[in-house]
Amino acid sequence: MFIPPPLLLLGAIGISLLLSKLSPLAPLVSSPTNLVGLVLIAGGIGLFLWTTRLFKHHKTTLHPKGKPSSLITAGPYRFTRNPIYVGFLLISLGAAIFFANILALVGPIVFFFFINTFIIPFEEQMLGHTFGEKYHSYRTRTRRWI
């Protein structure tokens, strides 16, 4: 069963919100410190938008199961092989901090686990088959996350 990464992100935020409401007595940070979460959310959205712009520029697919027509190694891809997922993780973590509850951190942890275990390995295998040595060379010099 394939769950698209944006739905995994929404699920992670939902988990964070639900757990923070179920246990309001487990503070992570106090107000206004929790507003740092909004900065992380904005950074994650910015990283996502930057990356999607690169995909459009290179005329390749954003869909994890789609066949890519171009290997992008510029922009945020110089620092991470998965800038969209880093952006989504920042959004999820930012939401957890904004909810100001230690249990809300379960959402980003669940998101990271699913993306790192099920989505990224599939994508890496597909990129290796599609781009061969070019991808393997890129993979050896660029980290999966950061």
* Residue 33 binned pLDDT confidence (cut-offs 50, 70, 90): confident
Judged against a pLDDT cut of 80, whether residue 141 lies above it is answered with yes
pLDDT band (50, 70, 90) for residue 25 = confident
Q: Sorting pLDDT into bands at 50, 70 and 90, what band is 23?
A: confident
pLDDT digits (tens, 9 = 90+) for 82-111: 999 999 999 999 999 999 899 999 999 999
What's the pLDDT score for residue 86?
Answer: 98
Average pLDDT in the chain: 95
- What integer pLDDT is reported at residue 78 of this predicted model? 97
Domain ranges of the chain: 5-141
**Among the listed ranges 27-36, 67-76, 129-138, which one has the minimum average pLDDT value?**
27-36
Residues 6+ apart with CB under 8 A from 96: 16, 20, 28, 37, 104, 105, 107, 108
